[in-house]
């Protein structure tokens, strides 16, 4: 009898627990609000803090001014969702689809939007302080600074992903054409990729910019790189890029962030 009761209780719990295909759910602060969201996609000013909504389909959802602090929305579908004024502090939106989403005035401080899809997303007046945006797709130029993209380039260069680093340097220079550190960093990565002539060209342009801007350290660093490329040590002539000096110059690039 006891075994039967246990089995009945187990079946009751399983059958009474809603299942959303493909979505990994965890407890939110307000379970009623979570159920409302998943059943209607209408949850203005709801408390959903701490919820796990990995892979959730929330396309066209109305989440205006909702509290989504710490929510895990990794790879969720939020296309055309209304998140205006929402609190997404520390939320994970890694790889999420936010195409066409309304994020006006949303608090995305310290949120993770790496590799998120952001084409046509409205980020006007959104808080992006300490937001992770590296690798996001379709990010509006106004949402990121040249210095931040330059930092991403340095991170890639440090692990020898120089092709990716060059792409980020290019983006930084589109945002800020007179950004001398961007040209210097790109010069090193191009040289590392075996493009010595391109490296010299970038280093020379960086040197002119640094001189014009009164940055003696930057000018001297550029000159040292030009000399390194033009007269590389014997150990570097057989491959694409030098050794010790380039490593030192790579470390110097970090200083231009401050």
The DSSP-derived string for 208-231 is HHHHHTT-HHHHHHHHHHHHHHHS
Please give the span between the terminal C-alpha atoms of the chain, in angstroms, as a whole number: 73
Q: What is the CATH number of the domain that holds 121?
A: 2.160.20.80
- 138 and 228, same domain (yes or no): no
- 62 and 169, same domain (yes or no): no
81, two tokens = 């969702």
For residue 134, give every residue at least 6 positions away whose Cβ sits within 8 Å of its Cβ, in sequence order, or none: 114, 152, 155
Which of 144, 174, 208 corresponds to the end of one domain?
Answer: 144
Q: What pLDDT does residue 58 have?
A: 98
Which of 102, 121, 144 corresponds to the end of one domain?
Answer: 144
- 99 and 168, same domain (yes or no): no
Q: What pLDDT does residue 127 have?
A: 96
Which of 108, 129, 144 corresponds to the end of one domain?
Answer: 144
- 133 and 28, same domain (yes or no): yes
- Give mean pLDDT in consecutive 10-residue pieces for the chain, a chain of 258 residues: 38 36 52 94 97 97 98 98 98 98 98 97 95 92 89 94 96 95 96 95 98 95 93 59 62 72
Q: Answer whether residue 11 is part of any domain.
A: no
Q: What pLDDT does residue 66 have?
A: 98
- 241 and 151, same domain (yes or no): yes
Q: What pLDDT does residue 226 have?
A: 95
Is this prediction's pTM over 0.85? no
- 69 and 96, same domain (yes or no): yes
Its domain, for residue 33, covers: 22-144
Q: What pLDDT does residue 11 have?
A: 33
């Amino acid at each position: 009898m006891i075994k039967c009761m246990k089995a009945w209780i187990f079946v009751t719990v399983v059958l009474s627990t809603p299942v959303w295909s493909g979505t990994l759910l965890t407890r939110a602060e307000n379970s009623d609000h979570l159920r409302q969201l998943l059943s209607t996609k209408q949850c203005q000013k709801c408390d959903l803090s701490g919820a796990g909504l990995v892979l959730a389909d929330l396309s066209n959802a109305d989440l205006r001014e909702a509290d989504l602090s710490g929510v895990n929305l990794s790879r969720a579908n939020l296309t055309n969702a209304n998140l205006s004024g929402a609190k997404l502090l520390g939320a994970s939106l890694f790889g999420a689809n936010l195409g066409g989403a309304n994020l006006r005035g949303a608090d995305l401080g310290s949120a993770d939007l790496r590799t998120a899809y952001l084409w046509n997303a409205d980020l006007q007046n959104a808080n992006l302080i300490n937001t992770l945006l590296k690798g996001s797709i379709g990010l509006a130029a106004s949402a990121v600074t040249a210095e931040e993209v330059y930092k991403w380039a340095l991170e890639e260069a440090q692990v020898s992903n120089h092709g990716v680093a060059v792409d980020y340097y290019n983006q930084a220079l589109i945002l800020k054409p007179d950004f001398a550190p961007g040209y210097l960093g790109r010069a090193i990565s191009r040289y590392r990729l075996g493009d010595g002539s391109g490296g010299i060209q970038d280093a020379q342009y960086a040197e002119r910019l640094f001189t014009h801007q009164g940055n003696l350290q930057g000018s001297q660093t550029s000159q040292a790189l030009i000399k390194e490329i033009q007269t590389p040590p014997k150990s570097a002539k057989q491959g694409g890029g030098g050794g010790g000096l380039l490593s030192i110059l790579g470390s110097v690039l970090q200083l231009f962030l401050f």
